[in-house]
Amino acid sequence: MAQIGEATQPVATSDALARGRIRASLVPDLLVEARRLVNTVIAGWHGRRRRGIGENFWQFRPYVDGEAMSRIDWRRSARDDHTYVRDREWEAAHTVWLWADTSRSMLFKSGTATVSKESRALVLTLAMAELLSRSGERIGWPGLTDPFSARNGAERLASQIAHMEAMSARPDFASVRRFSDIVLAGDFLDPVEETKEWLDMLARRGVRAHLIEIADPAEETFPYAGRTEFADPETGEKLTAGRSEQLGESYRAIYTARRDELASWCRHHGWSYTVNHTDRPASDALVRLHLALSTHVGAGPI
């Protein structure tokens, strides 16, 4: 057994390096697709509607003694006997962490899907990076980059992804601080209790998370019949079913229950949970994620 382990280790390393090279070659195209997605779907980023320093008008309010005279809006004040101040919307930079699962299970792509789950997760992540960077927000990838603010944030993040030799199946939350947001894109097919266990650190820190479940239509509908061999891409374990259609009903029930339980847990914490199928446009998830980040309202599986 020891000899087998020694023999397979270089193979696993070689496979990881090959996947890294393939991902690096695809990142430029994924960045182009992400920018096209942002330009098509999002006309502008909604502000957080709080009074403070910014450029966008929020409201007029009565002048208070002691405030700077330069803040008075004389045109509005001339309409009646009161003096008014023009308040602007709060636009302080906010930190939003971004992460996409690139484990082996994310490579799956059935015949009815348009892209792999990994490609969809990375496109959505880079689209959010582009959108947030345009809005002056700080973005970061846990364990890969510290938060930064730059107009070319998506390009910088894409470069980091392309040059990273290995990517963890789960993010490193050590640098994620209270009051920040984090967007997590993956298939979340692990047992729910395991998923909740590694996400619980975020809940205890007061971080607001937004989960995007990337689902291949075949994973949801289980369209298999006859003798079928199923292989676990993570462990290599295989299961051969003589009449696979007999497993369909039980499989779909377990699959749906996993999603419903995880989405309910997210709602309990005030988080959002969105489902995006790889045979559907990525814009569906981007719009819903944009709304969740803007309104601070948790959502069920959509």
Confidence check: pLDDT of 94 > 80: yes
To the nearest 10°, the Cα dihedral for 250, 243, 221, 238? 90
Both tokens assigned to 299: 């959502």
User: In the beta sheet, which residues pair with residue 211?
Assistant: 184, 273
pLDDT of residue 90: 47
**Per-residue pLDDT reduced to its tens digit, 113-137:** 999 999 999 999 999 999 999 888 8
Highest mean pLDDT among 1-10, 37-46, 125-134, 256-265: 256-265
pLDDT band of residue 11 (cuts 50, 70, 90) is very low
With 0.85 as the threshold, say if the pTM is over it: no
* Of 31-45, 193-207, 262-276, minimum mean pLDDT range: 31-45
Give me 145's structure tokens. 């980059």
Q: What is the pLDDT of residue 167?
A: 61
Among 21-35, 145-159, 240-254, 258-272, name the one with the lowest average pLDDT.
21-35
> What pLDDT was estimated at residue 119?
95
The domain locations on the chain are 19-45+93-295, 51-89
Residue 9's pLDDT band (boundaries 50, 70, 90)?
very low
- DSSP helix/strand/coil, 85: strand
Mean pLDDT along residues 206-217: 96
For the record, the structure tokens of 201 come out as 């650190």
Whole-angstrom Cα distance, residue 118 to residue 106? 5
d(CA 258, CA 121): 20
Phi and psi at residue 199, to the nearest 5°: -90, -15
Q: May I ask the CATH class of domain 19-45+93-295?
A: alpha beta
* pLDDT given for residue 26 in this prediction: 82
**For residue 3, is pLDDT > 80?**
no
pLDDT above 90 as % of the chain: 57
Q: Are strands 228-231 and 238-241 parallel, antiparallel or unpaired?
A: antiparallel
Q: Which residue has the higher pLDDT, 213 or 18?
A: 213
Please say if the pLDDT value at position 148 is more than 60.
yes
Does an H or E element contain 185, and which?
strand 181-186
Mean pLDDT estimate for the chain: 83
Q: Long-range contacts made by residues 195-204, C-beta under 8 angstroms, separation at least 24?
A: 195/262, 196/262, 196/265, 198/170, 201/173, 202/173, 202/176, 203/269
